[in-house]
Amino acid sequence: MLEVNLSGLKLQSPIILASGILGVSYSSMKKIFDAGAGAVTTKSIGPKPRKGYKNPSIIEIYPGTFINSVGLGNPGINEFLSEIKEIKKHNIPLIVSVFGSSNEEYLKVATKAEDAGADAIEINISCPHAEVSSIGIDKDLTYKIVKFLKKTLTIPLFVKLNPNVTNIVEIALAAEKGGADGVVAINTLAALKIDVNTKRAILSHGSGGLSGKAIHPVAVKIVYDLYKAIKIPIIGCGGIDSWQDVVEFFLAGASAVQIGTGLYKGVEIITEIIERVTRYLKDNGYNSINDIKSLAHQFKTQEVPDFD
């Protein structure tokens, strides 16, 4: 009932671990999969080890809403290969998130991940507190990197979109034109939280990315708009911590979803969401979660009246 085919990836459920959350070791990713996730996405991995920013790097600013500036800290692709191989021993569908300082570096990391057994690649061109965001705000750069990578990669390529742009649809269209197999919508929103007592930014880096409940309606709106414009699958991401959030993304047009910040409640949230989504489908007479995809588009919104 919850099985989905995502650009050739056959997943037992439409819930995928989002990049950046518990995605740096085999043991943590296996817990997510065992809880019912259909696939896991690694933390963004670069060509070499990177420390990231100093603490405080993440803080809850409202209930269920966080701001973070981790700074793409990661062990580097060479060190991470052992984790990829260990995950694949257990036949867990694996999406490796990659980044680099040039198209060639993205390709280097991506090909090493593919050779180690990755089932798909997600390119991070949208982290709001790192230099990679400069790619995801430009449709031409987005098209060029996707086209460049698709010439070599043989596994699906997903593009994580940057919501901090004027027109995200044109970025998604550029990714589709370049040959992307799907888009992830969305990454975090650029944000800043200042402590009124110290009179300085709370995060050590200053600004960061907003995630969690506050961005969910934004993400749903973007998925809804993208569905009307592109033909490739959309993976909804942003603020999921209930079964209703998952259903909402599918009604907007998503083919799968990613959960990240919501895992602060524990990995059990995935099991609970799966049980409740399954019950929702049965109660409403649906045979598959694919049956509810894009249903919100069948209803026309009210037109703005003319004024005489």
The predicted-structure confidence for 232-278, as pLDDT tens digits, reads as follows 999 999 999 999 999 999 999 999 999 999 999 999 999 999 999 99
**In which band, very low, low, confident or very high, does the pLDDT at 212 lie, cut at 50, 70 and 90?**
very high
Residue type, position 283, single letter: D
Task: Look at residue 284 in the predicted model and tell me its pLDDT.
Answer: 97
Q: Which residues contact 10 (CB under 8 A, 6 or more apart)?
A: 3, 4, 93
Q: Does residue 304 surpass a pLDDT of 80?
A: no
**In which band, very low, low, confident or very high, does the pLDDT at 22 lie, cut at 50, 70 and 90?**
confident
Mean pLDDT of 103-117: 97
Task: Look at residue 301 in the predicted model and tell me its pLDDT.
Answer: 74
Helices (H), 228-284: 243-252, 268-283
Residue type, position 119, single letter: D
**In which band, very low, low, confident or very high, does the pLDDT at 308 lie, cut at 50, 70 and 90?**
low
Query: Using one digit for the tens of pLDDT, what is the confidence trace for 137-196?
Result: 999 999 999 999 999 999 999 999 999 999 999 999 999 999 999 999 999 999 999 999
Give the helix, strand, coil percentages of the chain, each rounded to 5. Answer: 40, 20, 40
Task: Look at residue 52 in the predicted model and tell me its pLDDT.
Answer: 81
Domains belonging to the chain, first-starting first, are 4-51+72-187+214-298 (3.20.20.70)
Rounded to whole angstroms, what are the CA distances from 212 to 68, 116, 209, 240?
Answer: 11, 32, 10, 7
Residue type, position 195, single letter: D
Mean pLDDT of 53-80: 92
Check 121, 127, 135, 223 and give the catalytic one: 127
Q: Check if the beta carbon of residue 71 is closer than 8 Å to that of residue 123.
A: no
Q: Which residues pair with 5 in a beta bridge?
A: 10
Query: What Rg do the C-alpha atoms of the chain give, in angstroms?
Result: 19
Is residue 127 annotated as part of the catalytic site, yes or no? yes
Is the bond into 232 cis (omega within 30 degrees of 0)? no
Residue type, position 143, single letter: Y
The Cα 199–Cα 103 span in angstroms is: 39
The Cα 87–Cα 153 span in angstroms is: 20
